[in-house]
Chain A
Amino acid sequence: MLAALRRGAKLFVVDPRRTSSAQWAHGWLSPDVGSDVALANAVAREIIHAGLADGAFIDRATVGYAEFAASVEEWTLERAEAVTGVPAASIRELAHTYATAEHAQLCWTLGITEHHNGVDNVLSLINLALLCGHVGRYASGLNPLRGQNNVQGGGDMGAIPNRLPGFQDIEDDDARAAFDTAWGTEVPPTYGMHLSQMFDAMEHGDLRALYVMGENPAQSEADSTKAIALLQSLDHLVVQDVFFTKTAELADVVLPASASWCESEGTVTNSERRVQRVRKALDPPGQARDDVDILLDMASLLGHTWTYGRPGDRRSIAEGIWQELRSLSPLHAGMSYERIEALGGIQWPCPDEHTLEPSFLHGRLWHDDPAERGRPAPFSVVLNSPPVDALDDDFPLRLTTGRRLDSYNTGVQTGRFSSPRRRAETIDLFPADAEALGVLAGERVRIVSRRGAVEAPVRLDTGLRPGLAFMTFHFPDEVDVNVLTIDAVDPKSGTAEFKASAIRIERLPVPAAAV
């Protein structure tokens, strides 16, 4: 993005916090947490009223415009300013700049998705792209910036409850038939449970055994007190991980695994859908074993002999599995290992070995031939929906959580290197809020939500908006911030509303010695 700025691109950052990106931006819009739909709808209305919508594209390539346009009509700039706290002029400037740019992209991360209405947030952004024809063209589009190195690849490979590898719908009989044939078994025709549903099922006693691979839900789930209790209530818990995590401590069986990124072979898929080769550089320590070997042994014990590649040859085994994927996923059919290695990764879709598709998706929407253009892209009517954990007199501050540059998630990987920039967990407050509360920078305070409480020192941050507090979740062993967060989940994505909790700050009693 900095490279684009140097070439003259304009950047607008929409973030309640003044992030590093905001420092570089031409415009910084700081909406109240959880008012993204209101903001997006107001931008849409302004584009429509200013006559900047791409009518030709809307007519040819989309459906549902009229209903959508009617639905955003109430979102005047003034109303949006009242709801989001962003000045009307800023919303207007963003709307006009976005709509009149020849190329424009909307990029987002978890600030959009980690809400009870995360899917709606995304749909509201898709509406904007459709409104201006900023999709399906070079240098334009919608870019969810993935927060984890293979979250895209996990979905690509079917490690989601409603899709087979290559994003083929489990309920699609034709798609399933191919897998039935290849695997010599019948793939169940029903969607499975996503993570939040699994915890619900645990709560209802419907899920009694869990096999966790490379995840640390005991610390990463919202409302972690509840999550730990549910994990403890299971009949059987298996954890396969590189680390002896808090979740592993709760397990009946722990299977030490190799670090897939440097002790194994295979592929990952990055944010831009680029399938890339992961290679083995180190031998795993002690009894740690490759995930694939563990799974193959598991299959064997369950009476199935799965063979891939040459025994003992990690690359060959990984490639064998990959070849099976290519035979079943049209998106990946053209990606041989040789080709991935030669090209430094290949973006899907890649249906054959001889061509490369453009780096962007949905180009079909611009096709002159209606048949090639295919199914029109739908506008969605999206209603604003404030965070579930409402603010009130008892919990007057909004807590949002996020990452710092040098740490990653619950810190199991990054906690071990000596970062000169690392500082311990703090509760970051807007200076005026801290003053109103009578707390000082560095003072240790108690942070209370409707679910629990933690203690942390105060840090003042002028980059916050009044009423907003910030914490990370990198140091759960010292300050378990997810004790505070709410497990309200988006019904469609299963993602919890990590970004919006209601809290209050309590001063700690002064130790007698200090008086």
Chain B
Amino acid sequence: MSEVTLVDAPRRRIECTVDDRPVRVGEGDTILGACNREGIDTPTLCWGDTLTPKNACRVCVVEVEGSRALVPACSRKVEPGMVVRTDTPRVRHARKLVLELLGSSVDLSTTPRVDEWYDRYEADPTRFGEVARTVAQPAKVDNDLYVRDYAKCILCYKCVDACGDQWQGTFAIAVAGRGFASHISTEYDVPLPESACVYCGNCIEVCPTGALSFKVEFDKRADGTWAEDRQQVTDTICPYCGVGCTLSLTVQDNQIVRVGSPHDSSVTHGNLCIKGRFGWAHVAR
């Protein structure tokens, strides 16, 4: 066998303390990485395994000794001797409030695990009353492939990063506006078919709340026929070009209802093109 070229040099190990436990991690690892290694379940929403941490949602904040404010676990790199606490009253309060603020302003009904986190942090998103401002708005249905339901958008920036400089290089969408009025938008909010969108659906792949969804899923949820207990996910290979992207087909009642791709695939890291993501109508029943 020939020699295999090492791409990454071996990393230095550094030690820190997480919840009074000594932890050794690789240099450059984040606090979130250290927590995961220790089995400390940390809520995250805007963090994505294939994206640079944006640390915008702040639901993963932890307490680091010597730091005045709480720090986001997802992006802060571990430093030697760092003392991290993940379940102090301050941390619990911040996470509870972040969940309440999000839950009171955004429709989190299709966000995985959020009910579990509500329970864990005793969050009550209804406490701000009926009149609390929300981002409620009609879903944008401007093409037959996918729907943008920004009433469910927590503004995690992941779709923008996936569309733009981190993966697709298309830059069809950006964050527009400011403050509570910030929103994901094409230029002048033109419909997708008038934008640069190439319908790779890589934004759907990274959306943490279901704000972006396949039209099929959106319609099925609307008419009450979406049934996760009747769904299976099967990995196969895209039938089109020679790149060989793995497609994770979600099938309900012998119909494809969603197409994803494993983020750890060395071929495309969860990214697909329009054909792989949406070009399966020829096997629709």
Would you call B283 and A408 a contact (CB within 8 A)?
no
> Which of B2, B145, B232 is A363 in contact with, Cβ under 8 Å?
B2
* Contact residues in A for B144 (Cβ distance below 8 Å): 418, 420
Interface residues contributed by chain A, number (CB under 8 Å): 54
Query: Bound complex: CA of A344 vs CA of B246, how far in Å?
Result: 9
Least Cβ distance of B249 to chain A in Å? 4
A271 to B243, CA, bound (A): 6
Nearest CB to that of A417 among chain B residues?
A: B281
Contacts A282-B256, A358-B4: A418 and B239 contacting too (C-beta < 8 A)?
A: no
Are A420 and B264 neighbours in the complex by a CB distance under 8 Å? no
Which of these binds chain A: B41-49, B94-102, B118-126, B270-278? B270-278
Contacts of B198 in A (CB 8 A): 405, 421
Query: How distant is the Cα of A420 from the Cα of B274 in the complex, in angstroms?
Result: 10
* A243→B282 CA distance, assembly (Å): 9
Q: Chain B 5-48, CB within 8 Å of chain A: the 1/0 string?
A: 10100000000000000000000000000000000000000000
Among the stretches A32-40, A56-64, A273-281, the one at the interface with B is: A273-281
Please choose the segment from A77-85, A162-170, A257-265 that sits at the chain B interface, where 4 or more of its residues have CB less than 8 A away. A257-265
Point out the residue from A2, A243, A276, A279 that lies within 8 Å of B169, measured CB to CB. A2
Residues of B within 8 A of A (CB): 1-5, 7, 143-145, 165, 167-169, 192-193, 197-199, 232, 234-244, 246-247, 249, 251, 254-256, 262, 264-267, 273-275, 278-285
Per-position binary interface string of chain A over residues 141-177, scored 1 when its CB falls under 8 Å from any chain B CB and 0 otherwise: 0000111110110000000000000000000000000
Nearest opposing residue in chain B for A286, CB measure: B285
Contact of A261 among B237, B278, B285 (CB under 8 A): B237
Whether B278 pairs with A417 at a CB distance below 8 angstroms is: yes
Q: How far is the CA of A2 from the CA of B162 in the complex (A)?
A: 12
- Find chain B residues with CB under 8 A from A276 CB: 237, 244, 246
**Is A414's CB under 8 angstroms from B279's CB?**
yes
User: Closest CB-CB distance, B5 to chain A, in whole Å?
Assistant: 4
Do A149 and B145 touch across chains, with their CB atoms under 8 A apart? no
Contact A279 B274 (CB under 8 A): no
A367 and B64 alpha carbons, distance in the complex (Å): 52
Knowing A148-B242, A270-B242, A344-B262, the reply to whether A282 touches B283 (Cβ < 8 A) is: yes
A282→B254 contact, CB < 8 A: yes
Contact B192 A151 (CB under 8 A): no
Chain B residue nearest in CB terms to A261? B239
Interface residues of A (CB under 8 A from B): 2-3, 6, 24, 138, 145-149, 151-152, 242-243, 259-263, 268-272, 274, 276-283, 285, 344-345, 355-358, 363-364, 405-406, 408, 412-414, 416-421
Q: What are the residues of chain B within 8 A of A269 when measuring CB–CB?
A: 244
Interchain CB contact under 8 A, A357 and B244: no
Which residues from B are CB-within-8-Å of A283?
254
How far apart are the CA atoms of A344 and B269 in the complex, in Å?
A: 12
Known contacts A262-B236, A417-B278, A270 near B267 by CB under 8 Å: yes
The answer to whether A418 and B145 touch across the interface, beta carbons within 8 angstroms, is: yes
Q: Ordered nearest first, which 8 A-B pairs have the shortest CB separation?
A: A146-B242, A270-B244, A281-B234, A417-B281, A261-B239, A418-B144, A271-B242, A138-B5
Is the Cβ of B145 less than 8 Å from the Cβ of A419? yes
- Chain A hits for B236, CB < 8 A: 261-262, 277-281
- Given the known interface contacts A277-B235, A417-B279, the answer about A345 and B274 at a Cβ–Cβ threshold of 8 Å is no
Known: A152-B242, A243-B282, A416-B282. A406 touches B274 (CB 8 A): yes
The residue that B244 contacts in the complex, of A271, A280, A282, A406, with Cβ under 8 A, is A271
* A197 to B237 Cα, complex, angstroms: 31
Cβ B240 vs Cβ A274 within 8 A: no
What's the nearest-Cβ distance from chain B to residue A112, in Å? 14
Hey, which chain A residues are within 8 Å of B232, CB to CB?
281
The docked-state distance in angstroms from the alpha carbon of A260 to that of B239 is: 8
- Per DSSP, chain B at the interface is loop
Contact present for A268 and B234 (CB under 8 Å):
no
Total number of residue pairs linking A and B with CB closer than 8 Å: 156
Assess the A419–B5 pair: CB atoms within 8 A: no
List of B residues within 8 angstroms of A355 by Cβ: 1
> Could you give 30 example pairs across A and B, Cβ below 8 Å?
A138-B7, A145-B242, A145-B243, A147-B241, A148-B241, A149-B244, A152-B242, A242-B282, A243-B282, A259-B239, A259-B282, A262-B283, A270-B242, A270-B244, A272-B267, A280-B234, A282-B256, A344-B265, A344-B266, A358-B3, A358-B4, A406-B274, A414-B240, A416-B281, A416-B282, A416-B284, A417-B145, A419-B199, A419-B274, A420-B145
Shortest Cβ distance from B5 into A: residue: A138
Shortest beta-carbon distance from B132 to chain A in Å: 36
Which residues from B are CB-within-8-Å of A272? 244, 267
* A418 to B192 CA separation, bound complex (whole angstroms): 14
CB pair A408–B240 under 8 Å, yes or no, is yes
- The interface residues of chain A lying within 8 Å CB-to-CB of B238 are 149, 261
| New contact pairs (19) apart from A262-B236, A262-B247, A413-B282, CB-CB < 8 Å | A138-B5, A145-B241, A145-B243, A148-B242, A149-B239, A242-B282, A260-B239, A268-B237, A271-B242, A272-B244, A277-B236, A282-B254, A408-B275, A408-B279, A414-B240, A414-B279, A417-B282, A420-B143, A420-B144
Q: Are B285 and A345 in contact (CB under 8 A)?
A: no
Residue of B5, B165, B251, B273 touching A282 (CB-CB under 8 A): B251
**A149 cross-chain contacts in B, Cβ below 8 A:** 237-242, 244
Q: How far is the CA of A6 from the CA of B166 in the complex (A)?
A: 9
Give the Cβ gap from A330 to chain B, nearest Cβ, in Å. 14
Alpha-carbon separation in the docked complex, A263 to B256 (Å): 12
CB pair A406 B275 closer than 8 Å = yes
What is the chain A residue whose CB lies nearest that of B142? A420
In the assembled complex, how far is the CB of residue B172 from the closest CB belonging to chain A, in whole angstroms?
A: 12
Bound-state Cα–Cα, A149 to B251, Å: 22
